[in-house]
Amino acid sequence: MRISEFLNSSEKPFPSIEIVPPLKGVTRQGLVESVRPFMEFSPKYINVTCHRDEIDFRQEADGSFSRHLVRRRISETAVCAAIQAEFKIEVVPHIICGGATADQINTQVQDFLFLGIENVLALRGDSVLGEKRFTPVKGGFSYASELVAEVRKISKDAGKTMCIGVGAYPEKHFEAANLQTDIRNLKRKVDAGADYVVTQMFFDNAVFYHFRDLCREAGINVPIVPGLKPISNARQVETLPKSFYIDIPYALTSELEAHRDNDAVCYEIGQNWCIEQCRDLIRNGVPAVHFYTMGRPDNMLKILRDCF
């Protein structure tokens, strides 16, 4: 079933779960058991992130260096196939412009269609280490809007137009000059065929409501799903803003810093903050709440039990 149908037809908000593919070496059974705890909540689908190959330089016997592409994780396609087969639920693989030519995107989409996957989340991806700004490969795509149009075309030509989700940033994408410009670019993705939007994590719901209002004013009328992540330790007060360009409210950072040396208390503070955010979002009419689980069901279960 298409994610847009779930979002438009569900009578009550539901959790949307995102996992990260396991590192190579983890078995299929290992993956399945890490996802199984989420089945308590009958998720309608599971999102699987996509990770670009990393570049590794190895010294050869003659002293020269050779360049190698290294993928540290199992591919999103393999992970999706395993989840589908085990749990008989929909999967939403992420697909990125980064590192891929149009031909490679075509192959990837054909693999998804072969597996009966009818949903994807289309993203640009980030620059790789050592790259100042995102640079597409020759014959690749510069922006997610181009990828949306391409996935739509490939799947339509194959006889099954896929349902396409895209990313958005309530605090604006870090490269955009301002929120309004970023929302204009989000509209390009919707105009190119995106069926729904999933946001970056945020820790202040007022920021999300403001963003949602601006989107509606800009004529973005597809469902907007807010993204949440529970903070699980005090160190994330520094790491999350650096990695994801997001703000963490002072009320939360000061509480975490006051218990900096007590991981168990910080874990609970992060969990409770997320529960409060989620309940408030549900009261304010969101169709679903997307959770960045980072492959850790442990600190998600209480949140899901308390909210859904």
Query: Which residues here bind ligand FAD, judged by CB under 6 A?
Result: 49-50, 52, 94, 96, 121, 123-126, 143-145, 167, 173, 175-176, 182, 185, 188-189, 198, 200, 227
Nearest approach in angstroms of CB 64 to ligand FAD is: 31
53, amino acid identity: D
Nearest approach in angstroms of CB 257 to ligand FAD is: 27
Residue among 47 and 299 whose Cβ is closer to ligand FAD: 47
d(CA 48, CA 102): 21
231, amino acid identity: I
Specify whether 257 is catalytic: no
The per-residue DSSP string of the chain comes to --HHHHHHH-SS-EEEEEE-PPBTT--HHHHHHHHGGGGGG--SEEEE---PPEEEEEE-TTS-EEEEEE--B--HHHHHHHHHHHH--EEEEEEESTT--HHHHHHHHHHHHHTT--EEEEE--PPPTT-SS--PPTTS-SSHHHHHHHHHHHHHHTT-PPEEEEEE-TT--TTSSSHHHHHHHHHHHHHTT--EEEEEE-S-HHHHHHHHHHHHHTT--S-EEEEE----STTHHHHHHHHH-----HHHHHHHHHTTT-HHHHHHHHHHHHHHHHHHHHHTT-SEEEEE-TT--HHHHHHHHHH-
Residue among 136 and 297 whose Cβ is closer to ligand FAD: 136
Nearest approach in angstroms of CB 200 to ligand FAD is: 4
Residue among 19 and 304 whose Cβ is closer to ligand FAD: 19
**Pairing label, strands 54-59, 65-70:** antiparallel
Exactly one of 5, 11, 18, 33 is catalytic; name it. 18
Residue among 31 and 50 whose Cβ is closer to ligand FAD: 50
What residue is closest to ligand FAD based on CB? 167
d(CA 124, CA 175): 12
Nearest approach in angstroms of CB 216 to ligand FAD is: 18
Residue among 172 and 234 whose Cβ is closer to ligand FAD: 172
Alpha-carbon 70 to chain mean position: 22
Q: What would the two tokens of residue 181 be? A: 């410009």
Nearest approach in angstroms of CB 141 to ligand FAD is: 8
Nearest approach in angstroms of CB 196 to ligand FAD is: 11
Residue among 44 and 94 whose Cβ is closer to ligand FAD: 94
Q: Which residues are catalytically annotated? A: 18
